[in-house]
Structures are given as structure tokens and as C-alpha cells.
Structure 1
Amino acid sequence: MRRMNKRKRQAPIFPAKLETLQDRLKKHIHNDTDFSYSIYHQQNQRFAVFYIPYLIDTNKLEASLLKPALDSKQILTSDFLLYHTPLSSGKAENRLDDILKRMLTGNVVIYIENNAEAIAFPMLKEEKRDLSTAETESVVLGPQIAFTESLTTNMNLIRNSILSSDLVLEKITIGKRAPKEVRLTYLKTIANQDDIRTMRQRLKELDVDEIEDSSVLIQLIEDHSPSIFPQFYETELPDRFTYSISKGRIGVLVDNSPTGIIAPVTLFSFFESTEDLYMRWNIGSFFRILRFLAMIISVLLTPFYVAIVTYHYEVIPTPLLISLGQSRANVPFPPIFEAILLELLIELLREAGARLPTKVGQTMGIVGGVVVGTAAVQAGLTSNILIIFITLSALASFTAPSYLMGTTIRVLRFPMILLAGLLGIIGIMFGACFLVIHLLKLTSLGRPYLSPIYPFNWEDLNKTLYRLPYHMQSKRFTSFRLKDIYRFNKNKAKQKKDIDE
């Protein structure tokens, strides 16, 4: 704090000679090749233009600043540069630290000799990729476009989707050594004011050198960082982001990050897909319920196999017990070791496939799974029945639309298998109870993570566990206590009139 206060009290460096200014700037820039300092003459005046070359749009510099300044028939002044050049957002600076910060963020600084201030103009050259389809959240129905690393492009996508004056894109800068721009996004007439203040406070109070990505930012501001469950939703789909904003949630966009953050969310938010909106309500409800069942199957199926084979043979029908005994006759390992071995094998194949090029990764995953699985059965390392259970569990975990939640489900299987192998079904029940207690304690931006199940809210069930027809969804998510919970008039939505009426 003392060092920062000392910098704030630093005396202005102007007026100054151009050569003196150049020497002072070079002392603070460690690599001279990254610094361009040019002196020009105009109307018996001298002025300097300095910047970092690879950050600047040189075409804009030539056309919008140098040409008007050199062609001017009058004496250059700060007012002329600010108000008579085809540039906007120019700002006067007279302290060395402020000038250096401007240069590092893509500004061109012009200084007229012996003036009391320099003028900085933003001319950042943005390197960005073209819009493309989403990779981790692929969808069949609905918009296919995904966010990019350009914050300007992402804000443009949001503005084009929500054509409302209520949309707020509040600017916040995070990072002391490498500042990064963050945009807090919400609809001011809908979003809960307490949620907005909480998110704003968490962002502004961050005391870090830098944030690399929105994923890192989530880890810094989430409610319970030790938890394995994600408490904010991270999406690369602009339509999901805007849909959440229109329902009263809060979004965060981070510069140089291709994903947006949505909060508050519930556990059930991670099993909702944007495709549910574009399907008929009954079909969308079916697939949403299917994903919930798939989560339960993925977490409990393999542990139940281990528990039953280890301790509870009596619950298996006799014909199946005979088949199971024949399958495990040549396996020298206990079921718990056998299951963990196969689960680790599946995770290794998945991780290797994700790191390899797309075509090679897909081939490697399929061929590796078939070859290694067949070889493991023939070598007597595992039973073919367990391979079926492991495969079903792995497939079920991939049904979660959120990659983070899918990863959480896969990791949860390992402690559940250990408990099943040590204590049988009692161990599974102990693990399930611990999991439920943990979820009951979790919050997202201060809101209950298991809402609307706990605390129970009947009106919100149709927005989480299933869907209703659009004319019956007149209310937003009431558990978040939004300013305006009504989307439309329910009675008018039912009115149907023929053209001849």
C-alpha cells in the first residue's frame, strides 16, 4: 500500500524536452526493440509519437493521427489533438506510470514539446479468430455459434441477442501486474440486486497479479472452492448465456477467454441443454429426466456390482449367479481391484483421446477400448460382465451437457467403489448420505445449490426437473427472488383467435 501511494504522489514529468522524455521512457522499458519513439516537425514545433509496435494498428496510426497532425496549418495543441482528429477516447496524461500503462494496453502517446501533458489514443490491434461452432457443448438444434477470445466480439454477440436498454455490461478491471478487462452482465430490471452486489464485490476485491481465463476466475470467486462440484456454470454458447441473463441470472465475460460465466446456478442447471428449449416440451422433458437418471447410474452402477459380488450374493438370481461365477472363475483379483483397474483404464483412454488430434483421438478411443477390453477378459484380469457395467457407467457420464459436471461424476465413482468394496451396500448408503449432506450445504452466489428441491418450491420444478408448454411458463425462477418474476401474462397467452374473428 505504501508503494502504491508513493506512485500516486509521483510528480508530473512535463513540461520536458523530447530527448529527455525519450531517455526517461527507455529506463523503464527493458527491451528497446519493443519501443518506437519518433520525433516530427510541424510549424516550427516538435512533437514525439511513441508506442509499442506489435500492439498497435499502424494503418490507423498513419491515417488518423500522423496525417492530420502533419497536414495541419495551425499550431498543434492538446485541444486540437483531442477534438480535431478522427479519433475518440483520447485522454491527457502527465505522469510516467500512467503513460507506461497506456502504452502496455495498446495506446499511442503523442507529446508536443514543452507542453504540460501528453495525449494517449487507444489503437490496439486485436488478433482474433473467426466465429466457429462450439467444441465442448456441441448441439444439434439451435444456434451453433460459439464465443471467441475477443471480448469485443463476445459483447457484440450478447448485444445482438438482447436488444434491450436494460442490458448492463459493467466494466471491471482485475489484476495488478497484468490487468484484464471483465464485464459483469445482467438485466437491471430483472436480476436480484443482492446477487449483483455480491458478484461485483467478489470481482472488485480480488487482489491478484493476473487471471488467465474465466475458469481461473471461477476458482477465485466461487462459494466453496474445496468442493468437487462446480458452483458457477461455464459456457461457450452465446445463446445459453443470453437465455440465462434473460431469466434473471448474472453473467461474466473475461477478455481473452472463449467462455462466459453464469451465476447463480443449481445442481440441475448442469443437466439442462439449450436443445431442450428448441424441442417440444414433452420430448425436452424426457431427455432432461434421462440425464438425471444417467447421473445416478454413472455414480452407483459399478459400486453396486462391487458390493453385491463381494458381500451380497443372495440378491442375485440363481441363473445370473451361475453366469457371473463362470465369468469370474479365472479372475484372481477381488472385485474392488478389478473395478478400479477398469475405471482407470477408461479414464486413461478418455484422457489420451482428448489430448490427441481429433481424428486420431476418436480412432484411438474406439480401437483401444475394444482391444484392451478383449485382451483383459482373455487374460483373466477382469470379467466380461464388469466390462458391460463399466461401459454403461462411462456412457452415462457423457450425457451431462456440462463438461465440468461430467468430470465430477466420473471422479465420484472412485470413492463410491472403495466404500462398496469395504462395507458393501452400507458403504454405498454412507457415501450417498455424505454426498446429499454436502450438496445441501453448497451454495452458488449465496443461493441454495439444490433449489428447488431444498428448500422445496413447487413452482420451480417445471424449470429444472422437467419442462411445461411455453404458455404455462409465465414465471421466471422464483427461488432467486428476482425483481420481476413474470415473463408474460398467462391468461393472454392462452387466447387463440382465428383470422375471421
Structure 2
Amino acid sequence: MVDIDMMVKYLYPYLIHYPFTSLQHLADVLPLEDAHLSSAPRDVQQKLLEGYLAIQLIEQDDLVLLVKAQKKIERTLTIPEVEFSVVGPKESFIESLETNLHLVRKRIPSERLTVNLFRVGSLSQTKLAVVYVDGIADPENVQTVIQRIQTIEFDEVIDSSYIVQIICDNRHSLFPQLLDTERPDRVAAVLAEGKVAVMVDGSPHALIGPTTLVEFFSSFEDYFSNWIIASFFRLIRLFSVAFSILITPIYVATLNYHYELIPKDLLGTLITSRKEIPFPPIIEVLFLELTIELLREAGARLPTKVGQTIGIVGGIVIGTASVEAGLTSNVLLILVALAALASFTTPVYKMGNTIRLLRFPFLLFAEMWGLLGVAFCFCILMTHLLSLTSLGRPFLSPLFPPRWGDWKDAFIRLPFSEQAKRPLSLRPKQPLRFNSDKAKAKRDIENIDE
């Protein structure tokens, strides 16, 4: 755990040749980032386990000089793998808390950027940082995060995923209530809005809260594009989510209970495609849905190149064979493939998993009660979403409760010039990003000069 080269180069020459008179004198002259005195045995023990050196003089047996000499083993910065963007910064977090904090501070070089350090896990003693901008973030949000972290009793915390499962508001919900990201630029942006970030040593992901449902369908790349283009693709994602969840349940409901709603030409096509299918629609749909999930899981567990091949080739072969064998109809095969494709438009991986699982309760309700069952399941889903909170803030904001000012960056994204106010749902201490009237006056003067 100790860097021998650093000891030989920086520490030994001072110990052997420098005429220091006390440990404090030695600590003052050592050209190292962390050298401090301690008289607490518990502190000395913990620092030794972390890779510090302990220096003690015979004359001062009650004091110990602790010198940071950890051997840093960390990977280099890479491009984001999950939140990749064509434009914008290409840096992502790594497994070092110090490096990750540096990446954030590089983007917010302000004394108002506050970092509170904690240790969680009675066994792992994992370092954790709560990061926020003082004077912007609501103190209540900050205090909520700190209180929940201080109550963690888990013995070993390996990753930020452990933290989100422990401190989230509703642990039994399918929906993630804290946003995780691997992009330091995204963390810097939300800190400037008034949010709180949690970063864990050993994890390349930071947690962000409070968050809302619509944020899980917003790609950070939206902010690097023209607002019209960004709004269009954001609406496409929202439509894709609805399509992915509802298309197969509606197929089952219409064929079982509401076939009179289908146009005659389309009904003829459906009858022809299902003429020799021995199973009811629900079995047919479940067979294809579970096959898709099986291929996805197999592809994720195999090496990258092999996994991609299994997903593509396996889908084509199994789909074609199922239609030719009379197990499924070609129409349903197309619908299931489109639903699977639509689910991949979700920018946040964990929300994508939730969307895929939501299809199954909708399918069961559609099988039992048709379109009425689909509507009933939708009401249950909305009731659940209305009950969710993120760090005590409504999860469905700005839809419920309605906050019209926050709609400027919800379902669509208006130009930055129209977003002078920070999100009201966060209750920021400093609501304004900039003075919109002053900015407008400057633009008017520039137009007159031209």
C-alpha cells in the first residue's frame, strides 16, 4: 500500500540529513501533500491501514507524525461508456474519490463549492463525499442527505449503488429516485442548479438528488444542441417510453376483447398472420418478450464482441425460426422488436430496466380486462408515481404539483436565455441564474449598434 519510490525520494533524505528538532518541525519541511501530527491511537491505526507512514520520536512517545504515502493504483480518465455523447466533454469519473472531486472542482473553481467528507461501512470504512454549492443548494436538502448517510449501519459499502439503495425514499419501488451519472460536467451543471451530489470512493458514478421523473429521459447531450433539436429528441424519447410499455398490452387487449376497433384491412392481416398459431396472444407475447430479455441478459454477461454477436444473430435466427415454426406471428414479432428498440432510447440505464419490467403487469391486466385493464394499470402506476419523493421532494414535479416555471426544461428545453430561474422544485437559496432583464437590455443595445 505504500509508495516506496516516494519514500526514497522525498522522505528518507529529510530523516537522515535534515537537522529537525521535533515532529512538528519535520512536518513543516516535508514536501508532501499530507503530513500531520496525531496523538489518538484509533486515528493512527486507521491511517496505517490506509497506507500512511507513522514516524515517532523516542523523546515524544505520545505524538506520531502521519505521512501520506499511499501507492496510487487507478486507471486513467476515459470517455463515458454509458452516457457517451458525440459533442461535449469526453471525460468520465474513475474509481478514485480524490480524482473525481478534482474533476468537479476544475469545472466549479469557487470557494462556495462545499465538500463534506464521511466514512461509511463499519468494516470497509469507505470514504464518501457530499458535494453542493453553498448559497445555492437548499440547506434542507443538504441536511436530509447528511442525516441519511450518518444513519447508515451497513458493514461494507463497495459502490454508490449501495448508497442509493439505503438512502432513497422508497426502497420497494421499481423507479430509481436518485440519478446516477459518470459525467463530471453533468454533476457540475446540477450543482449549479442547487442539487446535491454524493460521491463514493471506488465508484465511477456520482449520485444526484433531488431528482424528478422527467430528468431520467433527458440526455445531457441535449444541452449541447440547438434547443429545437434537443426538444424534438426529448419528445421522441418520451413517446418511445410510452410505446415500449403499451404497444404489446394494447395488442393483447384488442385481439382478446376489442377486435371490432381494428380496421378491416388490418384485421385481415392479423387473422392471416395468426391463422396457424396454437397459442393465445398472451402466451405468444410472453414467449417473445422473455426471449428478448434472455438474449439481452446473455449478451450482457458475455465478452463485448461476442455479446453483440449473440444479441443480433440470436434475435434474427430465433425470430425467423419462431415465425416459420408457427409459434408467433410476424406482426407481433415486429411489434416486440420495435418495443425493445424503443426501450433503448432511455438515456439512464436503470430507468431503462424499469421500463422493460413495466410491460409485464400491463400485459397481465390487458389479458384479464382488455383496454379497461390497461387503463386501470395506468392509474395504479400514476398513483405510485404521485406517492414517490426524492429526498422529500415530489418525484413527478413539475407535472404534479404543477410548477409552470420548471416546464422550460422538462418535456422540452427552451433556449438558455429563457432559463433565468433555477428549478423551483429544488427551493434554491439563490433562485436566479442571471438577470434576464439586464441580459435582454444588452442584446437590444447590440442590435441597435448593428
1:424 counterpart SS class: helix
Matches within 5 A, 1:226-265: 226-265=172-211
Q: Post-superposition shift, 1:357?
A: 2.0
Match in the other structure for 1:25: none
**1:164 aligns to 2:164 (yes or no):** no
**1:491 aligns to 2:441 (yes or no):** no
Match in the other structure for 2:170: 224
Residue type of the alignment partner of 2:4: T
Q: 2:119 touches 2:127 (CA, 8 Å); kept in 1? A: yes
**How far, CA to CA, are the matches of 1:226 and 1:473 in structure 2?**
35
Instruction: Decide which of 348, 364, 370 is 2:316's aligned counterpart.
Output: 370
**Residues 24-63 of structure 1, C-alpha deviations (whole Å, 9 max, x = no match):** xxxxxxxxxxxxxxxxxxxxxxxxxxxxxxx111111122
Match in the other structure for 2:31: 86
Match in the other structure for 2:238: 292
Q: 1:110 touches 1:120 (CA, 8 Å); kept in 2? A: yes
Match in the other structure for 1:144: 90
Instruction: Decide which of 59, 68, 71 is 2:14's aligned counterpart.
Output: 68
Q: 2:408 touches 2:418 (CA, 8 Å); kept in 1? A: no
**How far, CA to CA, are the matches of 2:438 and 2:342 in structure 1?**
41
Matches within 5 A, 1:17-416: 55-73=1-19, 77-94=22-39, 96-113=41-58, 115-116=60-61, 117-416=63-362
**How far, CA to CA, are the matches of 2:323 and 2:330 in structure 1?**
6
Q: 1:168 touches 1:188 (CA, 8 Å); kept in 2? A: yes
Matches within 5 A, 1:4-15: none
**Residues 406-460 of structure 1, C-alpha deviations (whole Å, 9 max, x = no match):** 1100011111111111221121111100000000000000000000110011111
**How far, CA to CA, are the matches of 1:283 and 1:368 in structure 2?**
35
1:177 counterpart SS class: coil
Residue type of the alignment partner of 2:377: G
**Residues 173-213 of structure 1, C-alpha deviations (whole Å, 9 max, x = no match):** 21212111111111111111100111111112212212110
Residue type of the alignment partner of 2:166: L
1:64 counterpart SS class: helix
How many pairs are equivalent? 446
Q: Post-superposition shift, 1:95?
A: 5.1
TM-score for both structures, normalised by structure 1: 0.86
**How far, CA to CA, are the matches of 2:43 and 2:133 in structure 1?**
34
Q: Which runs of 5+ in 2 are unaligned?
A: none
Match in the other structure for 1:5: none
Higher RCO, 1 or 2 (CA under 8 Å, sep at least 6)? 2
Q: Post-superposition shift, 1:80?
A: 3.2
Q: 1:172 touches 1:183 (CA, 8 Å); kept in 2? A: yes
Q: Post-superposition shift, 1:64?
A: 2.3
Q: Rg larger in 1 or in 2? A: 1
Q: Post-superposition shift, 1:88?
A: 4.5
**How far, CA to CA, are the matches of 2:397 and 2:11 in structure 1?**
56
Q: Post-superposition shift, 1:498?
A: 5.3
Q: Which runs of 5+ in 1 are unaligned?
A: 1-54
Q: 1:168 touches 1:186 (CA, 8 Å); kept in 2? A: yes
Q: Post-superposition shift, 1:66?
A: 1.9
**How far, CA to CA, are the matches of 1:351 and 1:190 in structure 2?**
42
2:207 counterpart SS class: strand
**How far, CA to CA, are the matches of 2:231 and 2:256 in structure 1?**
37
Q: Post-superposition shift, 1:465?
A: 1.0
**Residues 226-265 of structure 1, C-alpha deviations (whole Å, 9 max, x = no match):** 0000000000111111111111111111111001110000
Residue type of the alignment partner of 2:22: T
When residues 471 and 369 of structure 1 are mapped into structure 2, their CA distance, relative to the original with a 3 A threshold, is same
Give the % identical residues: 44
Q: 1:142 touches 1:274 (CA, 8 Å); kept in 2? A: no
Residue type of the alignment partner of 1:65: L
Q: 2:24 touches 2:37 (CA, 8 Å); kept in 1? A: no
